[in-house]
Amino acid sequence: MSALRDPIRLIPLLFAGAIIVGTILLSLPFATNEGVGAPLLTALFTSTSAVAVTGLIVVDTPTYWSGFGQGVILLLFQIGGFGIMTAATLFGLMAGRGVSLRERMATQVERNRLETGDALSALKLIFAITVTVEAVVAIILTARLIAFYDAPPLNALWNGVFHSVSAFNNAGFSTYSDSVMGFQSDPLFLGPIMFAVVLTALGFPVMQDLRANHFSWRRWSLHTKITVLGTGALLAFGFIAILAMEWDNPATLGPMGWGSKILNAAFHSVMPRTAGFNSLDVGAFHDETIMANFFLMFIGGGSAGTAGGIKVTTFFVLFAIVLSEVMGRKDAGLFQRRFGHDIERQALSVTVMSAALIFASTTYIASITPIPLDDILFETISAFSTVGLSTGITGDLPPSAQLVIVMLMFVGRVGTITVATALALGGRDRPYRYPQENPIVG
């Protein structure tokens, strides 16, 4: 299986290479508005956040980075998003089709011969969706900025393109210092951003299934059914929770009319799926709203897309396992389909490893800073799930804590792809089994 592991190892290496190149470019004097090279940690943090399509920042993007620097950031999260979609889709499809495909891929790799028909078709569709959605959203945002905000055409075009690409790739970077808080009453600006985020957070396999089978429920794959309905349920939960919890908060929804309250509650139910834009002051959220965001951010979006987190399917596979145990069923499954034990083990492994990494990182940062624990936990979950939302502590973290956040962004984006695929492709049966003995549980 060593030949199969090489492509899996290549993913983190390629992303690490992109981060290094981005760090070098952002360290150049003309990448900043002051004409002085950015400190290495600042450049590294920003480059990692862009390639990992996270959106966490330690300096203000529009005031600190020059036009060249902002262009580099845009290029990095475009490459990061497209590369992630491509890698996650191709390896995800390989991992999800069972042993026969695994054996075929092993033979092809060992012979240094890959049949590129399916891969080329998938890449073409990814490219077509990327170009189409980004162009349409950019046109809408640009027109809105010119017509309603009297922005100069070139300035409006740059801001429209930047936010469109950032939204499509779930990057969360903005050319405005307050993200999109200046548009919190504008559905024609926030709406297209929400659309792009939700679409790409579904993941490419879902897009491919919807293109092939349209709205024929019976023909949808189990993955598509879980992702679409799970996404809808989580969006509804986030919307209701934020609307109810923040309705009277004078620092968020409180002063708004009911229309703006609904718009911003909907927007902030989408963003934890891992986009990172904010139209409200996240640091002013009530504690219970922060807790709801923990839940939404940790789950994230759909597999093989630009979203992070443990993924919607992972969460609902675990939910089905618990439900089957409670109901005394031997098999776990959904929609009249049962899950294989390998999938159950993968879901459990990804979730436990993710939670352990977040716990360890939170503990370390809490031990070296006086920052409240809930703010640190929000930051670490946001970094690992590549969300980009923050309560405002990112720039105040000491250098070692910022390096931990860098590690979380990288592992959270690349590691889940690598681990899930390695688990799916790397399983092998021993020629023997140990005697069974069950410990006491619970």
Residue-by-residue pLDDT tens, the chain, 442 positions: 444 445 566 778 888 899 999 999 999 999 999 999 999 999 999 999 999 999 999 999 999 999 999 999 999 999 988 776 566 555 555 555 443 444 344 333 323 333 444 556 667 778 888 999 999 999 999 999 999 999 999 999 999 999 999 999 999 999 999 999 999 999 999 999 999 999 988 988 888 888 888 888 889 999 999 999 999 999 999 999 999 999 999 999 999 999 999 999 999 999 998 888 999 999 999 999 999 999 999 999 988 778 889 999 999 999 999 999 898 888 888 888 899 888 888 899 889 999 999 999 999 999 999 999 999 999 999 999 999 999 999 999 999 999 999 999 999 988 766 665 655 555 566 677 788 787 887 7
**What's residue 423's pLDDT?**
57
Looking at the DSSP bridge assignments, the partners of residue 32 are 65
b/e map 258-270, b = 16+ CB within 10 Å: eebbebbbbbbbb
**What's residue 7's pLDDT?**
56
Cβ atoms within 10 Å of 256's Cβ, excluding its own: 18
d(CA 150, CA 152): 6
List the domain boundaries for the chain.
Answer: 2-425
Axis-axis angle for helices 153-168, 187-201 (nearest 10)? 30
Q: Which of 392, 399, 362 is nearest to 56 (CA)?
A: 392
Return the structure tokens found at 306: 């630009």
d(CA 116, CA 259): 50
Q: Within the chain, what is the greatest distance between any pair of CA atoms? A: 75
**What's residue 97's pLDDT?**
45
Three-state secondary structure call for residue 311? coil
- Residues ≥6 apart with Cβ < 8 Å to 140: 160, 188, 192
Task: With 0.85 as the threshold, say if the pTM is over it.
Answer: yes
User: Can you say whether residue 309 is alpha, beta or left, with left for phi > 0 and alpha for psi between -120 and 50 degrees?
Assistant: left
Return the structure tokens found at 3: 């030949």
Q: Which of 439, 411, 305 is nearest to 353 (CA)?
A: 411
Asked if residues 409 and 48 have their Cβ atoms less than 8 Å apart, the reply is yes
**What's residue 11's pLDDT?**
74
**What's residue 101's pLDDT?**
45
Burial of 192 (0-12, 13-18, 19+ CB in 10 A): buried
d(CA 7, CA 178): 40
What are the residue ranges of helices labelled H in 385-415?
399-410
User: What does DSSP assign to residue 340?
Assistant: P
Asked if residues 350 and 310 have their Cβ atoms less than 8 Å apart, the reply is yes
